[in-house]
Structures are given as structure tokens and as C-alpha cells.
Amino acid sequence: MTGLYLALALILLLTICVGMVRVLRGPTATDRMLAAQLFGTTAVAILLLLGQATENTAIWDVALIFALLTAIAAATFVRRRDIDKTTETEDQNDRH
């Protein structure tokens, strides 16, 4: 079973690497932010699997903290919508 958990964790880590493309390409600030949010969820899953594979339950606490806290950066982002607007207009200017 340990091998299966590790293989799944590896696949999830690869999905983070692929998701990094969205952070790098954008185009809008919201795309980048949401990709980072998705990484948070993936990291929770990876930590749960690693905790199960190594039988070190302390790792689950790290997963708990991530599950609780990744929403906060997104909440700040929503309250600062002006960042998104300016970045979008700048992106449009870039494309012209």
C-alpha cells in the first residue's frame, strides 16, 4: 500500500508542476490566484498521502493548517479587486 500512496503523491506533485503553467501564463490575475488555490488543495492531499505512507501522523497537522489557511490569501485577493483590474488592463495593453 505504501507504494500506492507514494505513487499517488507523485502524480499529484506532477499536477502541481503542470498547473504552474497557469500561474506563469495568466492571463488575468484571477487565473493565477485560482491556480495557487488549487495547489493548496493538492498539497493537502499530498500531505495526507505522505502521512499515511510514512505513518507519521504529525504530517496530517500540516495538512490541517493548509486546509484552514489557503482560503485567507484568496479572501484578501477578493477584497483587493483593484489589483485584478489593473493587471487585466495592463495585459490588454501588452497584447495591442
Chain residues in the site for other proteins (CB under 8 A): 2-3, 6-7, 9-10, 13-14, 16-17, 20, 23-24, 26, 29, 32-33, 35-36, 39-40, 43, 46-47, 50, 56, 58-59, 61-62, 64-66, 68-73, 75-80, 82-83, 86-87, 90
Question: Biggest alpha carbon distance in the chain?
Answer: 55
DSSP H or E segment with residue 18? helix 2-25
Q: Measured from the CB of residue 88, what is the shortest distance to other proteins in angstroms?
A: 11
Q: Measured from the CB of residue 92, what is the shortest distance to other proteins in angstroms?
A: 13
